Structure 1
Amino acid sequence: MSDRGGWNGGQVRTDEHRDDFVRMAGDDMPMSDKIREDTARRLDRAMGSLGTAAMARMEERLAWYRALSAEDRSWVGLVAQAGIAAFVEWFGHAGEGRPTPSIEFFGTAPRELKRSVSLQQTVDLVRIVVEVVEAQVEELAAPGGAEPLRHAMLRYTRDVAFAAAQVYAREAEARGSWDARLEALIVDALVRGQVDDGLHSWAAALGWTSTPVVVFAGYAPGEEPQSVIDGLRDKGRRLGHELLAGVQGDRLIVIVGGADGVKDAARGVVARFGAGPVVIGPEVPDLHAAARSARAAIAGLRAAAGWPDAPRPVLAEDLLAERALDGDEDARAQLVENVYKPLAGTPLLDTLATYLEQGTSLEATARLLFVHPNTVRYRLRKITELTGYQPTEGRSAFTLQVGLILGRLSVT
């Protein structure tokens, strides 16, 4: 009801189940019209005191009721009194074959109250009201009418239970549909990079509070998109993560919040993707910055074909060279900043260029630069310290080569 993890019922088959229960309990116990009329009058006179007693019992027994605001407690009291009044009115005409009321008196409550009070709490409320009425059956019923009154109360409260379930199911369906639309809007906005105040409003409506945030991009499995998203959401909930997901064409985008690092975020998420690469964007501090993570993950997914042996999942940072060759301006700028600029204006740049041009041969590089091989080794270690890439390792050497070329092009 109040969130997407709450009551998830679908269409409640109220009438069918109600009839089953009534058949199990037997037909209405016989009651003469005179006894019914006398009992109904007594109930009518006692409505005020019954409502007051019910409120006092709720105050005494229900901690959640005491924690409600004064306005919400007032609404709960009105609902309880409306339920008692509906019972009295129905009981007075039950002999005419009138069906029990279904959900009419629940309309007394505003939508906000239905979000504040859970289905279990509604059951607690109904139970309290029943206890209050049952405790006074002997005084309320006319002579000879106590047992039929108890039976009528049983039937009535069964219908109230089904009515409550129906109300909460409808509210949950409406809330679930609205949440799904908000989720799709957030994912689409982050993919497009359209981060504005609207994004924060949508996230607040979904109750998103988690930090940090990581974005995953991959291909959707051949399942119904909503079932994929529901499965991801359930997995995230079990792991204690907040999760948003969206299927866009053949692409699946997953946003994970509250994980303890990228590895923790990947648990339970990667397996839900279809065949092919899964790319992880950089960890960012909050949902507002998640557009940068999404942009990197999606660019990495486009460029992943350039590294067929890439691990699954693979970090977008590990695909910088492929992304740059694919035209990703962010990757190009990052390589220039991380590779070329730290080396520019130093002997390290010439050493790196020569080393790569000579097929990573230490001796050939030393000969061309007229230095000792140990000097080349020292410079290569400094290059690793400054750039984070190791020239003697194949993938790193490739990334350094692309960064070197992009840096040269940027100064021409």
Structure 2
Amino acid sequence: MTTDNRMLPPLRIAGRPVAQWLSVSAADLTNLVISRLVDELPIYRALPREEVHGEIADIVTRNIELFATLVFERRAARDSELTEQRNSAARRAEEGVPLDAVLHAYHFGIGMASKELFADAGPDDIADVRIVTGMILDFLRRLTIAVSAAYLEERQTMESQANSGRRSLMSALVAGDDLDAVLGRTGLRLAPHYLALSLAVGESADERSVGISGTVAGRRKLRRLQAELDRITGEPALTVIDSGGGTALVPCPASPPDWEPLRAAVDRMSRSLHVELRVGGVIATPAEVPAAVEQAAEIVRLVERTGRPPGLYRLADVLLDYQLSRPSPARRELARLLAPLAGKPELMQTLEAYVAGGLNRRATAAALAVHANTVDYRMRRVLELTGLNPADPADLPRIGAALVALRAGE
């Protein structure tokens, strides 16, 4: 047989029945909470006055009256009794009020009401104070869970809709499709220019570590990469990326940005993610985006193929490689200059390292973990087989061009 808690003596503090006092004092407590809330939390001062003194005040009153009912009936709140609080949290999410400010308001209001309730408590009230305190903590826990869940669900829905719209816009921009229908459907606006980026992202230490989930580490890196891309101009970047890289269109709301700050941003991004980041970049108008995306991808492929260090590259940084990578009879002939080295990987590897190292034999030897005399011997063999001397200023440009042409044909 269950006990009807309403038949128990009413909980009292300082001689006052708690439930009755809360019901009678609800309006005064609400005014006190709203006044202090506006004074102490700037975000609530920025909201329309009718919203603060209307809907938000109503929620404060509802919480006080609901808790009065719970105290009277000696029970916990039911999910169905927190519907208005969940709906209010969803509206705050839609308005962009931060979750911490929403939760702060609930904790703040209940804290103030509790302070007023316990202000005159004496030694004889300890037993009832303990019961009411336990009920307050349980009520606050249930409120926090309900409000947080509703807020985050609404934000997730909004983000999903925004992401869907951004993906549609990116697809249309990259494909060169008509943009009017996408803009009308999503409510998004075109930027005057876009920074088209092709990214090659190296593995982080966490992704390589034994005992750490590579999938989780990769997703964490991806979230941070998206956040860093959004920081470049302060506008959400349109992206199709995974943990290894991909394509991004960064809106440029004003005039096209300077390259040096962009290079610094990519360097900062690489340090923040703790990865090697090679990026090809092209600034384009919306109509130029399809060609810009293709060019950025080609730039980053050339950067990777030629072993350049991490960083941001534009076409001007890889002009010779880019031109020589285009199919032509001249490219085939250049590649044939090094045909005698086919099947001799140690000679080709040493030649590439020697040219990349500025013809420094000791640096080349260190890079290949061989003796400097070995480098000299191999360079003599290159001369004997090809007729080209890497140390001769007249031959060096042809050797460099031949290396680029050879890589482009692989």
Q: Deviations over 1:62-85 (max 9, x none)?
A: 332121113432222222222223
Query: Counterpart in 2 of 1:78?
Result: 58
Q: CA deviation at 1:155?
A: 2.9
Q: CA deviation at 1:293?
A: 2.7
SS at match of 1:231: helix
Q: Which amino acid aligns with 1:280?
A: G
| CA distance 1:244–1:103, change in 2 (3 Å) | farther
| CA distance 1:279–1:39, change in 2 (3 Å) | closer
Query: Counterpart in 2 of 1:88?
Result: 68
Query: 2:25 is matched with which residue: 33, 46, 55?
Result: 46
Query: 1:177 is matched with which residue: 160, 178, 181?
Result: 160
Partner Cα distance (2:90, 2:228) in 1: 30
Partner Cα distance (1:255, 1:269) in 2: 16
Query: 1:165 is matched with which residue: 132, 139, 148?
Result: 148
8 Å contact 1:187–1:245 — kept in the other structure? Answer: yes
**Percent of paired sites with the same residue:** 13
Give me the CA root mean square deviation. Answer: 4.7
Find out whether 1:190 has 2:184 as its counterpart: no
Q: CA deviation at 1:322?
A: 5.3
Q: CA deviation at 1:246?
A: 0.8
Query: Counterpart in 2 of 1:297?
Result: 296
Q: Deviations over 1:343-371 (max 9, x none)?
A: xxxxxxxxxxxxxxxxxxxxxxxxxxxxx
The 5 A counterparts of 1:312-331 are: 314-316=313-315, 318=319, 321=323, 325=327
8 Å contact 1:39–1:141 — kept in the other structure? Answer: no
Q: Deviations over 1:286-315 (max 9, x none)?
A: x6764453243245567x49x953746543
| CA distance 1:57–1:249, change in 2 (3 Å) | closer
Q: CA deviation at 1:201?
A: 6.7
8 Å contact 1:216–1:294 — kept in the other structure? Answer: yes
Partner Cα distance (1:227, 1:193) in 2: 32
Find out whether 1:217 has 2:198 as its counterpart: yes
The 5 A counterparts of 1:4-403 are: 33-36=8-11, 38-73=17-52, 74-94=54-74, 97-99=75-77, 101=79, 103-109=82-88, 111-116=90-95, 117-137=97-117, 144=125, 145-146=128-129, 148-194=131-177, 196-197=179-180, 213-218=194-199, 227=220, 229-236=222-229, 242=235, 243-247=237-241, 252-257=246-251, 260-261=258-259, 262-268=262-268, 278-281=279-282, 283-284=283-284, 290-298=289-297, 300=299, 304=302, 308-309=305-306, 311=308, 314-316=313-315, 318=319, 321=323, 325=327
SS at match of 2:9: helix
Partner Cα distance (1:100, 1:267) in 2: 52
Q: Which amino acid aligns with 2:34?
A: M
Partner Cα distance (2:154, 2:25) in 1: 33
Structure 2 residues without counterparts, runs of 5 or longer: 204-213, 329-394, 402-410
Q: CA deviation at 1:134?
A: 2.0
Q: Deviations over 1:191-234 (max 9, x none)?
A: 212362456579976xx998864222255768767555313123
Partner Cα distance (1:273, 1:185) in 2: 31
8 Å contact 1:280–1:297 — kept in the other structure? Answer: yes
Query: Counterpart in 2 of 1:410?
Result: none
Between 249-258 and 125-134, report the one with greater CA deviation.
249-258
SS at match of 1:35: coil
Q: Which amino acid aligns with 2:142?
A: D
| CA distance 1:266–1:154, change in 2 (3 Å) | closer
Report how many aligned residue pairs link the two structures.
294
Q: Which amino acid aligns with 1:50?
A: L
Partner Cα distance (2:277, 2:19) in 1: 71
SS at match of 1:123: helix
Q: Deviations over 1:75-116 (max 9, x none)?
A: 22222222223222222222xx54565843323427442233
Partner Cα distance (2:194, 2:119) in 1: 63
Structure 1 residues without counterparts, runs of 5 or longer: 1-29, 327-391, 399-412
| CA distance 1:273–1:50, change in 2 (3 Å) | closer
- The TM-score normalised by the length of structure 1 is 0.55
| CA distance 1:111–1:289, change in 2 (3 Å) | farther
Q: CA deviation at 1:137?
A: 1.2
8 Å contact 1:191–1:295 — kept in the other structure? Answer: no
Q: Which amino acid aligns with 1:214?
A: L
| CA distance 1:133–1:234, change in 2 (3 Å) | same
